[in-house]
Structure 1
Amino acid sequence: DVVYDEVCDISPIAPPVRERMEKRSFPSIFAWGGSHKTLGLDHLTPNQRAALHDLDFGVWFSFNWDQTPTEPFDGIATSLAGNLSYSRETHRQRFDLNPNMLVLFGVGFHSHYSDEAYPPGSDFWLRDENGEIIRRDTGSPNINFLNPEVQDLLVKRIIAVERCGLYDGVMIDQFLNHGAWGSHIYGVTEEEIIQAFLNIFRSVREQTRDDFLILINTNRSKATRYTEYVNGTFMEAGSDYEYLTGIPGGYTHEGLTEIESTLLWSDENLRSPQINCLEGWGIPAESPDSPENQRWMRVITTLSLTHSDGYVMYDTGWGAVAVCPECPYVWGVAHEHIWYDFWDADLGRPVGSKAQHHQNIDGLFIREFTNGWAVYNRSGTPQTITLPTSATPVSDRENNAASSTHLLPDLDGEIYLKAKNPADVNGDGKVNILDLVHVANNFGKADPDLNGDGVVNILDLTLVAKHLSQNAAAPSQLALIESIPSTAKEVSAVQRALAELETIPNKSHGGQIAIELLRHYLSIVDPNVQETKLLSNYPNPFNPDTWIPYQLSEESTVTVKIYDVTGSLVRTIQVGHKPAGYYHTRERAIYWDGRNQNREPVSSGVYFYTLNTDTYTQTRRMVILK
C-alpha cells in the first residue's frame, strides 16, 4: 500500500473567513464530520453531504498526525501529513458546492483516545498517587494539561492546523464550566485550570493569523474568561427531560431560557468573527423525523435564528444512549443527524435585531431576514403572529397558506417566507432604483413582463413605480446608482423610459419617486466616455484585496497583468470583451484578491498593474501592507 506523508504547510486557499460568513444565507447548519454523519442522503456523494453545511468541524481529509523518528508517537506529533493532493481536491470540490463553508479541525485538551499516544511512563498523562492513569468515565486516558510541556505541545499542534491552509480554525472539545469541568480530578482550583488555558490561548493568538478561528465546547455555560481569544461556543444543549427524569428528549421553558442567555451572550461578547454553534438533542425513542422531533428541531433552529448569527443543528439524540439503551433510533455515533426540509428555507440575511419580543410578549421572539421572518415561541401559550405583509410558513401544518397572521403553538418555532413582490425584479427583497433600471433596459423584450401583456414596456415600469416607498428616495438608496451599469446603450434605454414615464398624467406618489430616481441616475452618469483610462486602485495600500477601476471610450478586450518590483509576472487577470463605459464601482471594477497565479497570497511590498486593451496600455503602482 502507498503511504502518503506530505506535510500540510500551505497558505489559506479559501476566501477570507469574514467574507464567507457574510455571504451565507440562513438558516446556517453545521456538522461534526458532515460527510459521514448526515443520515438518509445516500443518493448524495460524501462531498455533497458535507457541503450542505456552512460549518464543519472534526474534518480530517486524508491527514493524520505525522509520526517521525523525532516525534514517534501520535500524541506528540506536531505536523499534519497525508495525501495533500487528494485533500486539496476534496476541499476544492466541497467549496465549489458551497463557497461559504468553514472547516475546522478537532483538537482535544483533556483526554486522548489511546494509551499509546504518549511514550510509556510519560508524565503527559494525569496520574493518581499510585502512578495509574486517571480515566474518564468512557475509559479515555486524561491528559495532564497543567504540565507546561503539555501546554507547549498543545500550542504546537494548533499552530500545525493553522499552517495547513485547508482549515479555518480548530474546535476544542470538553470545555464545560470554563474548561474546569474536571477540576476535582486534577486536585487544583478552578482558577489554576483557567490560567493554564489562558496560557495556551494567549500563545496561540500570538502565533496565528487574526481570522484563525477557535471554537470551544462549553455546553450551556458562558466562556466569560476567554472572550479575548475564543470566536465561538459549541453548545451541546443536551436534553432537559433527561436531566430531570432520566427520560431522554425535549426541553423545558426554563432550560430554553438558559440556552437563549448563553447563546445571546456569546454572540455579543466573544471574539469577532463569532461562530457560535447550537446543537439540540433529539428524542432517540422516536424516528428522527417524527412529529415531536420535528417540533423540537423547529424550536432549536428558530431559537438560534432569533438569538444569534451563528450555526445550528439538531441530532438524533445520541447522548441518551446511556439512559436509554433500548431506544431504536440511536445509531450510537455522536452528532448524527438527518437533513430536515425546514433547513432548506432561504431566509437570506438578518435584517432585524436579535432577541426581539413580538408584540411585547415575554417568551415570543421574532427576527426579520431579507426573505422572511423566524419566530420562536416559549411564552407558555399559543400565539397569533401578525406580520407586516403576507408570508408563507415553511413547515407542513394544517394551514400553510400565505397570510399576514398565523397561529404558533407554545414550544414551537416557524419560518415565514415573504410572498415575492413582482416589482422586486432582481429578487433582493426591495423595490428600488435597481428594479427601475432593470425594467427600462429590457423595454421591448419578453422578460421581465410584470403585467403579463407579453412585452416589457412603460406599464411594467409604472408597476414597479407603484411599489416604491418614500424610503426609495433616501440618500442610502440613491447610493445604489453607483452599482448600476453605465454603458451608452443602457443609459439611452433609461432616457427613453423616463421620457415615457413623464408623459403619464396623474402620476402616483411612487411614480414621482421613480422619476426622481431616474433623473438622478441620468444626472450623474455620463455615457460618453471621452478617453480610455486606468485609474488608481482602491484601497491603496491594501490587505488582502483591492479593486482596479478603469474606463473605456470604445469596446475592447481587457486584460490586467500584475508584476512585482523585479518585473516578474505575478498574476494575469483576463477580464474579457467589454463595451465602452465606466468601470469604477466595486461591482464593475477589476478585483484582485492579492494572490498569485497559483492562488497563493503574495507578500508585502510594491507591485505594478498594467491595463491592456486593443489600443491602449497603462501601468500604475500599488502597495500591499500586511
Structure 2
Amino acid sequence: MKRILSLTTTFLLLISIAQAELSIREKIETKSMPSIFAAWANWFVNKPNMAYAEMTAAHDLFWSPSFGLRFEIIDGKVELLGDFQEAKRQRDELLELNPNMIFLLQINMRGASPKSWHLKGLYKDDFPWLRSSDGSQVLGSPPEQYVDLLIDFTHPKAQDVIVGQVVAVYERGLWDGIFFDFWTEKGIVLGGYRTHEEERQARIEILKRIRAAVSDDFLILVNGSPTENTFRANRNIKNYNYEGLEELGNKLLWAEESLRKPRINCLEAEGIGSELPTSPNNLRDMRLLTTLSLTHSDGFVLYTMGVGWDESHPHDSTYLDYQGAAFHRNPQYWIRHREQHDTLYHIHHHEHYWNDFWDAELGRPIGEKAQLYEEREGLFIREFTNGWVVYNRRGTEQTIEFPEEMSGVANGITARRHILPDLDGEIYLKVPVVVADLNGDGVVNILDLIIIAGAFGVEKHSNADVNGDGVVNVLDLIFVAQKIGE
C-alpha cells in the first residue's frame, strides 16, 4: 500500500533521528498525491492481509478518531478524560506508518446521543436540546437514519459546550483540527424549529469564538455547500452529481481560491450502489472523480460504495466473507448483513474499497489547477513531480501526447501518445531512472541510508533526493530502504 512504511529497526532509528513530527502545514504541504481521506469508515475489506492500523494509515486524513477519550464537564469547563498515554500511543502508531496523516475529531453541533459513551458527560439536565411546542425532545428524521436528539445550537449554553469541546481538543494536541457535519448556509438543519437566519448567525458566532481560541493552523472542516464565509478554512464536498461535473470543478476551485490556509478541501464522491465497487462503471467514475480532484485542487478525495438507506445492492464474496468482521464495532452487523441483506436498513455511504489507482506516487503538484490541454474545453491536465494527471469531460475520447514516454496507471500502457475515453481520467507516471547506490560502492546498504538521513530536509540535494520531488525526506528513505541488498 502507498505510504505505509514497512521498516527495519535500523530504518526506524534513522527516522527517529532525522525527523520530528511534522507540523500541520508540513503534513499538508509535503504529502504525496493522490491523497485519500477516510470519513468515519477508516477500513476497507478488499485488502484482507492488511492490519487495521495499516488500513487506517493508508489515508492522509481521517475523521473521527476519539483515541478512547471522552468529554466531561468539570466545574463548568469541558474536559477530555481517559488514558492519554494510550491515546497518544494509538496516534503515534498511525504517524509512524504515515507521517503526513491528519486527524480531525467530529464535534456534534446539530445532534447527538445523550447515551453516547464519548459524549454523555456533556449533557446535563439543563442542556438545551431542541424541543417541540409540547416540550418533547426532537429526533432527527427519518428516525431509521438519525437517532440523535437535535441540539439547539442557537442557544448560548449549547454554544458554550460546542466551543468548549473544540478548545479541549485544541489544548490536548492529539488532533490537527475538528469536523462539523450538517453544515449548510442555503438551507436549515433543525427541522424548521429555528429560522434560516437564526441558524446562520449561530454558526458564525460559534466559528468566531473558536477562531479566537485556537491557533491559525488549527483546522476546521465542515460538510456542506460552498459559501463566501471567510472564517473557516476547509470544505468537504459530497453528493456527486454526474451531470454537474463542471459545477463540481468550479466549487473545488472556489474553495481552493477563497478559503484560508492551511487548506484541506475534501471531495467525496458517492459510488453506484446498485453495482459492485469493482464494476467497470464504478472504476471509471472513481478515476474520473479522483482526477477531477487532482487537476482542480491540492486536496483530498474519496470514492465510496454509495449505498443509501433501504437500497438493494450487491456485494462480492470479499465483502460478505470479510474476516475482520469480528473486530468491527458491531460484529452482529456482518452476520445480519449476510443473512438479511435486502431487509436490513443500513448504508455504505462512507465505506469504500481501496483502489490500486490510488497507490500511484505522483509526488507534489507543479502545474496550475484547472489547466486545459491544448486549449481543449473540458480536457484538463496537470503536471506533478512524478507524472501528469488528465481528466476528460470534453464529450469524446481524446489523444494526449507527452514530451517523453509515460506509463498509464490504469491502462498499463507505456508510450508518449495516449488515448483517454470521454468521462474518464488517468494518471501517467514518468518512467523512473533512479540510483539508490548513493556512495557508489556497488551495493545499496545502510551507508546509503545514512547519506539521506544526513541530508534530511535539504531542498534540491544533488543525489540524496532520489525520487526527484525537490526535497530530501522520508520518501527518499523508503525508496532506498526497499533497494537494500541490490
Distance in 1 between residues matched to 2:162 and 2:299, nearest whole Å: 27
Distance in 2 between residues matched to 1:183 and 1:279, nearest whole Å: 24
Equivalent residue letter for 2:95: F
Distance in 2 between residues matched to 1:418 and 1:393, nearest whole Å: 9
Q: Measured at CA, do residues 56 and 403 of structure 1 come closer, stay the same or move farther in structure 2, by a change above 3 Å? A: same
Q: Is the 8 A contact 1:33 1:50 kept in 2?
A: no
Return 5+ residue gaps in structure 2 as ranges. 1-19, 316-340, 445-457, 464-470, 474-486
The reply on whether 1:283 has 2:283 as its aligned counterpart is no
- Decide which of 159, 168, 173 is 2:167's aligned counterpart: 159
Distance in 1 between residues matched to 2:170 and 2:26, nearest whole Å: 18
Distance in 2 between residues matched to 1:481 and 1:376, nearest whole Å: 30
SS at match of 1:185: coil
The reply on whether 1:216 has 2:222 as its aligned counterpart is yes
Equivalent residue letter for 2:87: S
What is residue 501 of structure 1 aligned with on the other side? none
- Decide which of 46, 50, 54 is 1:44's aligned counterpart: 50
Pick which of 77-86 and 309-318 moved more: 77-86
SS at match of 1:338: coil
The reply on whether 1:107 has 2:107 as its aligned counterpart is yes
What is residue 176 of structure 1 aligned with on the other side? 184
- Decide which of 22, 31, 39 is 2:38's aligned counterpart: 31
What does residue range 132-281 of structure 1 map to in structure 2 within 5 Å? 132-137=136-141, 138-177=146-185, 180-182=187-189, 185-188=192-195, 190-218=196-224, 221-225=225-229, 227=230, 229-236=231-238, 238-240=239-241, 251-252=242-243, 255-281=244-270
Q: Measured at CA, do residues 98 and 482 of structure 1 come closer, stay the same or move farther in structure 2, by a change above 3 Å? A: closer
Q: Measured at CA, do residues 401 and 152 of structure 1 come closer, stay the same or move farther in structure 2, by a change above 3 Å? A: same
Alpha-carbon shift at residue 141 of structure 1 (Å): 1.8
Alpha-carbon shift at residue 483 of structure 1 (Å): 4.9
The reply on whether 1:61 has 2:50 as its aligned counterpart is no
What is residue 386 of structure 2 aligned with on the other side? 371
SS at match of 2:158: helix
Distance in 2 between residues matched to 1:48 and 1:187, nearest whole Å: 44
Q: How many residue pairs were aligned? A: 397
**Aligned sequence identity (%):** 37
Q: Measured at CA, do residues 22 and 119 of structure 1 come closer, stay the same or move farther in structure 2, by a change above 3 Å? A: closer
Alpha-carbon shift at residue 407 of structure 1 (Å): 1.0
Q: Is the 8 A contact 1:284 1:317 kept in 2?
A: yes
Distance in 2 between residues matched to 1:447 and 1:43, nearest whole Å: 31
Q: Is the 8 A contact 1:108 1:174 kept in 2?
A: no
Return 5+ residue gaps in structure 1 as ranges. 1-12, 72-76, 241-250, 428-437, 449-479, 486-585, 589-626
Alpha-carbon shift at residue 417 of structure 1 (Å): 0.5
Distance in 1 between residues matched to 2:378 and 2:301, nearest whole Å: 20
The reply on whether 1:299 has 2:273 as its aligned counterpart is no
Equivalent residue letter for 1:257: E
What is residue 427 of structure 2 aligned with on the other side? 415
Equivalent residue letter for 2:85: S
SS at match of 1:390: strand
Alpha-carbon shift at residue 103 of structure 1 (Å): 0.5
Alpha-carbon shift at residue 187 of structure 1 (Å): 3.5
What does residue range 348-367 of structure 1 map to in structure 2 within 5 Å? 348-367=363-382
Equivalent residue letter for 2:426: E
Q: Is the 8 A contact 1:356 1:366 kept in 2?
A: yes
Alpha-carbon shift at residue 123 of structure 1 (Å): 5.8
Q: Is the 8 A contact 1:34 1:49 kept in 2?
A: no
Distance in 1 between residues matched to 2:348 and 2:460, nearest whole Å: 52
SS at match of 1:304: helix
Distance in 2 between residues matched to 1:361 and 1:78, nearest whole Å: 55
Q: Which has the higher contact order (CA 8 A, sep 6+)?
A: 2
Alpha-carbon shift at residue 165 of structure 1 (Å): 1.2
Alpha-carbon shift at residue 384 of structure 1 (Å): 1.0
What is residue 8 of structure 1 aligned with on the other side? none
SS at match of 2:192: helix
Alpha-carbon shift at residue 447 of structure 1 (Å): 6.9
Name the structure where strand makes up a greater proportion of residues: 1
Q: Is the 8 A contact 2:41 2:350 kept in 1?
A: no
SS at match of 1:66: strand
Alpha-carbon shift at residue 122 of structure 1 (Å): 4.0
Alpha-carbon shift at residue 332 of structure 1 (Å): 2.5
What is residue 319 of structure 2 aligned with on the other side? none
Alpha-carbon shift at residue 39 of structure 1 (Å): 2.3
Q: Measured at CA, do residues 119 and 157 of structure 1 come closer, stay the same or move farther in structure 2, by a change above 3 Å? A: closer
Equivalent residue letter for 2:37: F
Alpha-carbon shift at residue 42 of structure 1 (Å): 3.0
What is residue 133 of structure 2 aligned with on the other side? 129
Q: Measured at CA, do residues 113 and 123 of structure 1 come closer, stay the same or move farther in structure 2, by a change above 3 Å? A: closer
Distance in 2 between residues matched to 1:120 and 1:86, nearest whole Å: 28
Alpha-carbon shift at residue 314 of structure 1 (Å): 0.6
Q: Is the 8 A contact 2:304 2:353 kept in 1?
A: yes
Alpha-carbon shift at residue 85 of structure 1 (Å): 1.7
SS at match of 2:235: strand
Pick which of 131-140 and 404-413 moved more: 131-140
SS at match of 1:78: strand
Equivalent residue letter for 1:284: G
What is residue 451 of structure 2 aligned with on the other side? none
Distance in 2 between residues matched to 1:182 and 1:196, nearest whole Å: 12
What is residue 316 of structure 1 aligned with on the other side? 305
SS at match of 2:78: coil
SS at match of 1:375: strand
Distance in 1 between residues matched to 2:124 and 2:431, nearest whole Å: 66
TM-score (norm 1): 0.59
Alpha-carbon shift at residue 66 of structure 1 (Å): 3.0
Alpha-carbon shift at residue 15 of structure 1 (Å): 2.3
Q: Measured at CA, do residues 337 and 121 of structure 1 come closer, stay the same or move farther in structure 2, by a change above 3 Å? A: same
SS at match of 1:356: coil
Distance in 2 between residues matched to 1:135 and 1:108, nearest whole Å: 14
Q: Is the 8 A contact 1:34 1:53 kept in 2?
A: no
Equivalent residue letter for 1:313: L
What does residue range 310-349 of structure 1 map to in structure 2 within 5 Å? 310-318=299-307, 320-322=308-310, 324=311, 326-329=312-315, 332-349=347-364
**Superposed CA offset, 1:335-379 (max 9, x none):** 111110000000110000000111111111110001111111111
What is residue 323 of structure 2 aligned with on the other side? none
